Chain A
Amino acid sequence: ILNVEQSPQSLHVQEGDSTNFTCSFPSSNFYALHWYRWETAKSPEALFVMTLNGDEKKKGRISATLNTKEGYSYLYIKGSQPEDSATYLCAFYPGGTSYGKLTFGQGTILTVHP
């Protein structure tokens, strides 16, 4: 059973604060790590797919880093805005015969207060 852990479970920040959260995953047999943003009553939205150790991806004020050797990824949000309020999910894919089976963490719920 693959264990994907996200921390913290929830986070409250003020508008303008920068924040980051963590996704931990098995460091053996790594293939890809996905980040999704999920706003209430909407579909999960793909943010990044990361495959290489040391990968850094950026999309606007959101960026992510990947360390496959130690099994973690960080998601950073610079200058948080109320519209960044959402659940952020990471999902691990080990490759081999896993056939697209993403193993998700439980998510980090971010609330940005005006």
Chain B
Amino acid sequence: ETGVTQSPTHLIKTRGQQVTLRCSSQSGHNTVSWYQQALGQGPQFIFQYYREEENGRGNFPPRFSGLQFPNYSSELNVNALELDDSALYLCASSRELAGGAGTQYFGPGTRLTVL
């Protein structure tokens, strides 16, 4: 089994710009969740996708959006970047609709810096 991968590793954007982060799920996993980890905090749930549909959302504004593709890779898009969007963004895949007893397998994250 290949693990969860994310790209890019790091990127720097300026306020107001748009960014797309990518995630490749572990083989056989049809569910992906995205998390934001700000400095000094635990990861915070952004949203989850199951079979290409958004299936739950955390307390994030609509300028955070996502896509899941038929091969179960996914994207996180953030529009109109703000300074507070600077964080580590993690994706996690799981084998089934991630009820709470399903292990989520995390990627290494993308570090976004907004200047």
Contact = CB atoms under 8 A, between A and B. Distances in A.
Contacts of A105: 42
Interface residues of B, number: 30
Contacts of A107: 42
Contacts of B108: 41-43
Contacts of B109: 43
Q: Is the interface of A mostly helix, strand, loop or mixed?
A: loop
Contacts of A106: 40-42
Nearest to B94: A100
Interface of B: 3-4, 31, 33, 35, 40-45, 48, 55-56, 58, 90, 94, 97-109
Interface stretch (A13-21, A76-84, A89-97): A89-97
B3 A100 contact: no
Interface string A38-53: 0001111110010100
A6 B50 CA distance: 30
A68 B106 CA distance: 26
B107 to A, nearest CB: 6
